[in-house]
Structures are given as C-alpha cells and as structure tokens.
C-alpha cells in the first residue's frame, strides 16, 4: 500500500477508515505506521501546524471518528467520487473550519450531532442522521452557539453558515437546528424526511424544525421543513431576514404541517419577543393552528408570503405585538380569520382599541374604468400615515368569518389621514391590462403606525360597463378661412353613459386652439345635457389645403382624440395661407 503523504503542506488525503493515530505528529506526513492515513492521523497533523488545512477523505464507507473539536482553519471534505459515512462521537467545528465545502458532492453522511463552536465556520452539503434513542431527548442535530460560560470549549459561532444539508427524521430532538449567535446563514436545508423519502414528523409534541434564539442579523432562507410541533421558531431575534422558506404542506406534500395545540405548538412559524424581523416569500401551509404567530413581537414585516389551509388563522398576533406591517400576502382557506389581530376570532372595529379598523371597499366598473375605492375612518389615527393594500379572491367566506381571503395580492397605495378625523378615501383606477374579472372579490388592509388591520369585508367585482365613444359633432360643416377670426362651433352629446359635465374644458384643443363653453343645452332634445364649445379658427394652426383637424381633451374617464373633417376657403391670391 502506498504511503499517504500530504498533497501539499496543508492538504491530506485519508485512505484508511480505521482508528490508528499518526506515527510522528508534526512531521507533515499523515502516516499510521501501516503506510496509510486515517482521519485521526490527519487531524493530528493539522493540529501540529497553523492552517489553513484541507483533509479529503478518499475511502468510501464508515470512517471512525472519536469526537471532539476539529482544529481551527480546517476544511474536512469528501472526495468527489466516494460516499463517506462519519460515525462515532459528536463533531465540534472550530473557527474558520467547515465540514463539506461548496461542491454538492463534498459532504458526508454524518451519524451524530454537530456543534459549531467557532466563528466563520460552515457545515455544507451533508446528510445528517442522529441515531435514534427512544429515551434521550437531546438538543438538536446541529447547534450554532454563542459561547457558554459553563463550557470552556464552547466559543461564539458568529457568521457561521449551515447550508444545503439534508436532515433525516430526528425522533425525540427538541430542535433539529438550534441557532444562538449573530450574522449566521441557515440556508437551503431540508428537514423532516425519513430515509425512504417519506415525510417523517418525528415526535411532533416537542420537536422544532429550526429554533433561533437571542440572535441578531440572521439569514434563514430557502429551507424546506416538514412536520414537527413547530416548523420554525425565532425567539428574541432582531433585525433578521426570514425568506423563501417552505414549511408544512408544500410542493405537493400533504399531512406535513405542524401539530399541537399551542400556544407555540401547532404553528408553522412562531416569532416571539422579536424586533425588526423581515418575513418575505415564505410558504407556511396546512398547520394545526396558524401559518405564523407573532407573540410580543415589534415591527415585524410580512410581505409576499403565503399562509393557507391552516386550522385557525393565516396570520395571528397577540396584544403585546406592535408596529407590524402585512402587505400582499396570500391567505386562503384558513379555518378562522385570514388575519386575526389579538387572536380573538373577531374583526376588531372598536373606537378605542389602539388598532386600525379595516377599511370599507367599493368596486365600480363604469364607463369602461374599473376602480377600487377604500374608505378608512378611525379617530385614533389623526394625522397618521396609512398604506392600503388590495387583494382579490375567488370566494368570499365573509358570511361566516367577516372577511375575505387574500388569494391574489394586487397592489398597495399610500395615504395621509385627515388631521381632524383620521379619515381618508383612496380611489384607484385599474390599468386595462390588470382588470380583475367580474365575480371575484376584493378585500383590503390598512397599515398605520400601530400596525396592520385585519382584512376588510369583501366587495364583489361587477361587470365592466362598456363605454360608448364620446360623441362630438361640428355645428354645420366646418369651413375655415385660415386668415379669419371666425369661430368653429361643436357640440358634445350627452347620454346615459356619457356625462358631458365631466369634460375638462381647459384640456380641449382643436389643433392648437383652446376651447371655451358656449352653452349647455339639450341640443338634440333627448333629455340629456349637451355641451357646446367654440374654437377661434385662426388659432387652430390650420393651413390652406388641410382636410382634417384633430380634437383632443380629457374627461373623468381618460383622454380622448377625434379627427374631424375640414374644408379651407379664401386661399387664392398672393396672401394664400397668411393671417
């Protein structure tokens, strides 16, 4: 057998799965005395000199590892073409060290716990399995910790990365991943399968998928969590991003939501005693209680998430949570309210409760214009700001719950509340390519400095009334001498769907000439008011030989433009075309 020598001064290749130690520690050669290099011998060599070091395991199957803290500045990886199992004691990762690297095939199957006890460390691309013990209730497959006064070996793990690992069913563990540090990244991990690819919720009465405690500026992103008593718990977390995680009944998997009866168990996500945390793009569906529960949380932001098919609410808050902002979330088919502020099962519309009332919504479709109108009135919020967010849905369960679903988030619009009454009216015209089909239902929330309201009662979208073309006719045929001051007269004809009083006179132009009102008679005696206007001929900019003048203007439902026939006269002779 060939002697295992370092590839370079900082890299060793393991070719022996045994437990023999290094023959001569510190000589720069991983050698057991049998012409081989074991993991234990390679680690001994890395301890003997300053890093960074790399250990690549090139032998398949189980590798003996007695546990303990890996040296600092060490990357422990698998060779690309072998499947390696690390088995034995718990792994403790030192500073600037990693188990697995950024290559998807560089990780291991690890049968045991991992403790990240050093800054700037990483655990990437591993399959992690804890040997199940029906009695023991350990604290997690992976701990990312902040240093413990009771354990001299435990060090802070700031800026740690836990990425793209798969965690098989973990039985009695309190938490599969436990994080208590700052600036760490927990990303792309899969939690809650058994080794046959089935959802394995483990002991759902006590288990958490991810538990983040007393930390700041974490990134918890793109993790997939099935089962457990709670999918994700963040407690005393500050200024962190929780985004694009999939929790519960997602990706076509059923019966994978959190189970339990509260106040923490049974929720997809729980945010307790947090400050300034941002939840974006998460999907948390099919849980026994709520998609997300905010408990004593301040200034949480929930944007573009989906919380659906939960036993109680999509979003629930308690009385101690303040300053939260909910915008453009998808909330469908929850057993209770879509948004349940105070977790009381009723729409809060009281005068002195410190909470913004839901708005009142009206949807119109007149004159070819779809318009959403939102009215808000709450004297508690005089001279406050407000943001109104509209959503659409295919059904309206308001007869039971008092509010609609939020199935298709649409848009938000800012407003300033009246300085005397705390009221506002928002009226938003919907762009032609964004028209909401008739028969759907519109609902909305209002967010003020105190937080976001529950959803409004729903308003059904009516059929869009088709607009007749705005009728305008010249009075007599238009004959124009470009050098004459003679006026050209025309009339807008009113009808059931064309209210000529909405024409904005100051916007009228015939060529370059502005218009003025002559009178408002019932010109054609049909019972509707008409509008007669005049334009100074010489101001139109028409020239001899022109056959068309363009009339432009605006009315309440948009701009209009008409081409009108014209005949010019008085154009012969030397002064042709001159004023």
> What is the sign of the dihedral through the CA atoms of 147, 153, 157 and 160?
negative
DSSP 8-state secondary structure symbol assigned to residue 300: -
SS (H, E, C) 306-363: ECCCCCCCCEEECCCCECCEEECCEECCCCCCCEEHHHCCCCCCCCCCCCCCCCEEEE
pTM: predicted TM-score of the whole model, two decimal places: 0.79
Taking the C-alpha atoms of residue 395 and residue 456, their distance in angstroms, rounded to an integer, is: 14
The enclosing H or E element of 161 equals: strand 161-163
Show the tokens assigned to 388.
């109104």
Domains, the chain, in order of start with CATH, read 60-345 (2.160.20), 359-466 (2.60.40.10), 471-568 (2.60.40)
Tell me the C-alpha to C-alpha distance, in Å, between residue 68 and each of 29, 78, 91.
22, 19, 6
DSSP 8-state secondary structure symbol assigned to residue 501: G
Q: Are 36 and 29 in contact (CB under 8 A)?
A: no
Residue-wise DSSP of 419-470: TTT-EEEEEEEPPGGGPPPTT-EEEEEEEETTEEPPPPPPEEPPPPPPPPPP
Show the tokens assigned to 92.
């403790």
Taking the C-alpha atoms of residue 45 and residue 31, their distance in angstroms, rounded to an integer, is: 9
SS (H, E, C) 358-392: CCEEEEECHHHCCEEEEEEECHHHCCCEEEEEEEE
At which residue do the structure tokens 């002195």 appear?
Answer: 352
Taking the C-alpha atoms of residue 123 and residue 221, their distance in angstroms, rounded to an integer, is: 15
Residue-wise DSSP of 46-90: HHTS-S-EEEEE-S-EEEEE--EEPPSSEEEEE-TT--EEEEES-
278-280 and 301-303: which strand pairing? Answer: parallel
What contacts 33, CB < 8 A, 6 or more positions away? 20, 23
Show the tokens assigned to 299.
């200034």
Chain CA centroid to CA 267, Å: 19
Taking the C-alpha atoms of residue 513 and residue 549, their distance in angstroms, rounded to an integer, is: 11
Show the tokens assigned to 524.
């054609």
Q: Are 577 and 482 in contact (CB under 8 A)?
A: yes
Taking the C-alpha atoms of residue 292 and residue 334, their distance in angstroms, rounded to an integer, is: 12
pLDDT at residue 149, as a whole number: 46
Q: Are 402 and 346 in contact (CB under 8 A)?
A: yes
Radius of gyration (C-alpha) of the chain in whole angstroms:
36
Taking the C-alpha atoms of residue 283 and residue 268, their distance in angstroms, rounded to an integer, is: 9
What contacts 350, CB < 8 A, 6 or more positions away? 357
- For the chain, the maximum distance between any two Cα atoms, rounded to a whole number of angstroms, is 119
Show the tokens assigned to 410.
């649409």
Taking the C-alpha atoms of residue 536 and residue 317, their distance in angstroms, rounded to an integer, is: 66
Q: Are 547 and 566 in contact (CB under 8 A)?
A: yes
Query: Residue 463 burial (CB < 10 Å; 0-12/13-18/19+)?
Result: exposed
Taking the C-alpha atoms of residue 490 and residue 282, their distance in angstroms, rounded to an integer, is: 59
Taking the C-alpha atoms of residue 204 and residue 176, their distance in angstroms, rounded to an integer, is: 12
Taking the C-alpha atoms of residue 337 and residue 456, their distance in angstroms, rounded to an integer, is: 11
Q: Are 34 and 4 in contact (CB under 8 A)?
A: no
Half-sphere exposure of 282 (CA within 13 A, CB side): 32
Query: Residue 202 burial (CB < 10 Å; 0-12/13-18/19+)?
Result: buried
466-491 in b/e burial notation, b at 16+ Cβ within 10 A?
Answer: eeeebebebeeebebebbeeebbebb
CB atoms within 10 A of CB 127: 17
Tell me the C-alpha to C-alpha distance, in Å, between residue 143 and each of 71, 138, 203.
18, 11, 19
Average pLDDT per block of 10 residues along the chain, 579 residues long: 47 92 92 92 91 92 78 91 79 89 89 84 88 46 58 70 85 75 94 74 64 93 89 95 95 83 88 97 95 96 96 94 95 92 79 82 84 86 85 76 78 77 80 89 91 91 77 86 86 84 91 91 88 92 92 83 89 53
The backbone torsions φ and ψ at residue 41, rounded to the nearest 5 degrees and listed phi first, read -70, -40
Chain CA centroid to CA 57, Å: 41
């Amino acid at each position: 057998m060939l002697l295992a020598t370092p590839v370079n001064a900082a890299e060793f290749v393991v070719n022996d799965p045994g437990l023999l130690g290094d023959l001569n520690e510190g000589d720069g050669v991983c050698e057991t005395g049998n012409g081989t290099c074991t993991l234990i011998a390679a680690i001994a060599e890395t301890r003997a000199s300053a890093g960074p070091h790399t250990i690549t395991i090139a032998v398949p199957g189980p590798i003996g590892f007695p546990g303990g803290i890996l040296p600092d500045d060490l990357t422990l990886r698998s060779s690309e073409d072998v499947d390696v199992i690390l088995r034995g004691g718990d792994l403790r990762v030192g500073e600037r060290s990693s188990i697995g690297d950024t290559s998807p095939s560089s990780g291991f199957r690890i049968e045991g716990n991992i403790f990240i006890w050093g800054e700037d460390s990483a655990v990437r691309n591993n399959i992690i399995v804890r040997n199940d013990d029906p009695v023991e209730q350990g604290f997690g497959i992976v701990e990312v910790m902040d240093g413990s006064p009771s354990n001299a070996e435990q060090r802070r793990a700031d800026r740690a990365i836990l990425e793209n690992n798969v965690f098989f069913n973990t039985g009695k563990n309190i938490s599969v991943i436990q994080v208590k540090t700052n600036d760490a990244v927990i990303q792309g991990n899969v939690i809650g399968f058994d080794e046959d690819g089935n959802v394995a919720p483990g002991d759902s009465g006590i288990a958490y998928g991810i538990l983040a405690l007393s930390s700041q500026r974490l990134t918890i992103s793109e993790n997939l969590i099935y089962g457990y008593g709670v999918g994700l718990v963040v407690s005393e977390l500050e200024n962190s991003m929780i985004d694009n995680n999939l929790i519960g009944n997602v990706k076509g998997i059923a019966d994978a939501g959190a189970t339990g009866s509260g106040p923490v168990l049974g929720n997809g996500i729980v945010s307790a005693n947090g400050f300034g945390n941002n939840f974006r793009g998460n999907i948390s569906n099919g849980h026994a209680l709520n998609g997300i529960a905010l408990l004593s949380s301040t200034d949480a932001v929930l944007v573009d998430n989906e919380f659906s098919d939960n036993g109680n609410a999509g979003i629930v808050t308690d009385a101690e949570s303040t300053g939260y902002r909910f915008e453009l979330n998808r909330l469908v088919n929850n057993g209770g309210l879509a948004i349940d502020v105070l977790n009381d099962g009723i729409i809060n519309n009281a005068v002195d409760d410190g909470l913004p009332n839901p708005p009142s919504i009206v949807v119109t479709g007149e004159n070819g214009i779809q318009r959403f109108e939102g009215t808000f009135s709450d004297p508690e919020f005089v001279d406050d700001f407000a943001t109104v967010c509209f959503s659409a849905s295919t059904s309206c369960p308001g007869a039971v719950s008092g509010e609609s679903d939020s199935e298709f988030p649409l848009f938000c619009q800012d407003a300033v509340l009246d300085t005397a009454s705390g009221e506002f009216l928002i009226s938003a015209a919907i762009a032609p390519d964004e028209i909401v089909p008739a028969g759907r239902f519109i609902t909305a929330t209002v967010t003020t400095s105190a937080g976001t309201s529950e959803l409004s009662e729903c308003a059904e979208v009516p059929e869009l009334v088709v607009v007749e073309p705005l009728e305008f006719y010249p009075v007599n045929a238009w004959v124009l001498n470009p050098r004459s001051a003679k006026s050209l007269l025309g009339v807008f004809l009113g009808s059931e769907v064309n209210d000529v009083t909405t024409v904005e006179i100051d916007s009228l132009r015939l060529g370059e000439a502005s218009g003025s009102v002559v009178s408002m008679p019932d010109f054609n005696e049909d019972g509707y008011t008409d509008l007669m206007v005049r334009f100074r001929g010489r101001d139109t900019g028409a020239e001899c030989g022109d056959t068309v003048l363009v009339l432009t203007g605006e009315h309440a439902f948009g701009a209009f433009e008409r081409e009108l026939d014209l005949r010019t006269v008085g154009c012969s002779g030397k002064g042709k075309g001159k004023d």
